[in-house]
Structure 1
């Protein structure tokens, strides 16, 4: 389990460094207690609530390419959601 979390942390660190110059028109927000992800369309002025279901205690989220990566603490899982 520790190996999975260490690997996930490394993936998030690598993704974070490559995303520094990327601009997105959507903002993804973790709803920790609801265990869901909502999306805010920054250019559309629109909100999509509870768009995706997460695992237990989601605490990290990143967009990379056409994928959304969600790290869940209690369930020790890394979810990958295809955005296209």
Structure 2
């Protein structure tokens, strides 16, 4: 679990350094109690609720390139979602 948290912290730190350089037209929102991710289309004026299911107690989310990274505390997992495909492509324990 410590390795996962250390790896996730490193991934989020690396992703965070590039966020200021990118403009996104979508906003992804963690629904912590519902354990889902929703998307708000800023240019389309539309909301997609419960688009992706997360693990237990999701607490961080980042977009990098075409991927969405979700860190789940209690389940100690890092989920990777391919945004073009619209599906989860990996889950790291």
TM-score w.r.t. the length of structure 1 is 0.98
Shift of 1:3: 1.0
Shift of 1:21: 1.3
Does 2:39 align with 1:42? no
Q: C-alpha distance in 2, partners of 1:12/1:63?
A: 9
Shift of 1:18: 1.2
Compute the RMSD of aligned alpha carbons. 0.5
Residues 7-46 of structure 1 show CA distances to partners (whole Å, capped at 9, x for unaligned) of 1011001000011110000000000000000000000000
Q: C-alpha distance in 1, partners of 2:6/2:83?
A: 25
Residues 18-76 of structure 1 show CA distances to partners (whole Å, capped at 9, x for unaligned) of 11110000000000000000000000000000000000000000000110000000011
Alignment-derived partner of residue 83 in structure 2? 83
Q: C-alpha distance in 1, partners of 2:34/2:40?
A: 17
TM-score w.r.t. the length of structure 2 is 0.89
Deviation beyond 6 Å, 4+ runs, structure 1: none
Unaligned runs of 5+ in 2: 85-93
Unaligned runs of 5+ in 1: none
Aligned-partner SS, 2:62: strand
